[in-house]
Chain A
C-alpha cells in the first residue's frame, strides 16, 4: 500500500507566479490535511478537506491560497502570486476516517522556494 504521495518534491517559483502542490492520499483515505512548515518552525495547520468539501480552512491565509479535493484525482493546494514569505515546506497528511483518534499519515512534503 503506497503511502501519501506529494509532488513535486521541490518547486521553485519567481515572485508573482502561481504554485500548485499536489497530494495523493493513501488508498482508502478520504480525509486530507495540509500543513505548512516555515524555517525553524513546527508545522502549522492550514486546511482540512474531505472529497469535494472543505471542512476547516481556519489556518489558510485569506488571500492567494486555495485548496480543493475533487471527487477524482489528488488534492491541490494552490498559491497565487507567490511572495518570498511563501517559501516553506508544505506537508499533506491523510487519514482513513473522521474518528477522533484516526491517525494522520504524512507525505514527504513539497519544498517551495520563491525567488
Chain B
C-alpha cells in the first residue's frame, strides 16, 4: 500500500546550520506531497506542498522538490532558527476525491542558540 518513510530523529542543530530531513514515498499513481509542522502542544500546520513531479514547494525559508525518479520529497532549509524547533511530518495524498493523508512518523528538530 501507499506509505511515507522519513528519517528518524531527533535532529539536533545549532542556529544557522543547514537542515535536511529526508522523505521517500511509495504510491500508486501520482500523489500530492506535503510537509506539515507541529509545534509543541499544537495541531499540524501545512508548511509546503507540491502536486506534481519537479514542483518545488517553499515557505518560510523551507524548500522541498518533488522527485518522481527517486520518489523523494526532502525538506531543506539553509539556516535554521531556534523557532524552527518542532516536529516535521512528510505526507502524501493520492489524487482521488476524498482520500486521506498518509503521514510519516515525524522527525523532531531541536535547534539551539
Chain A contact residues, CB within 8 Å of chain B: 4, 6, 31, 33, 35, 40-45, 48, 55-56, 59, 91, 93, 98-101, 103-109
Contact = CB atoms under 8 A, between A and B. Distances in A.
Contacts of A40: 105
Of B44, B95, B99, B100, most A-chain CB atoms within 10 Å: B100
Contact of A98 (B36, B97, B100): B97
Contacts of A33: 100-101
A55 B99 CA distance: 10
Contacts of B32: 101
Contacts of A93: 101
A45 B97 contact: no
B42 A42 contact: no
A106 B98 contact: no
B57 interface: no
Contacts of A35: 100-101, 103
Given A40-B105, A101-B51, A109 B97 contact: no
A55 to B, nearest CB: 6
Given A103-B46, A106-B45, A108-B42, A41 B97 contact: no
A93 B96 CA distance: 17
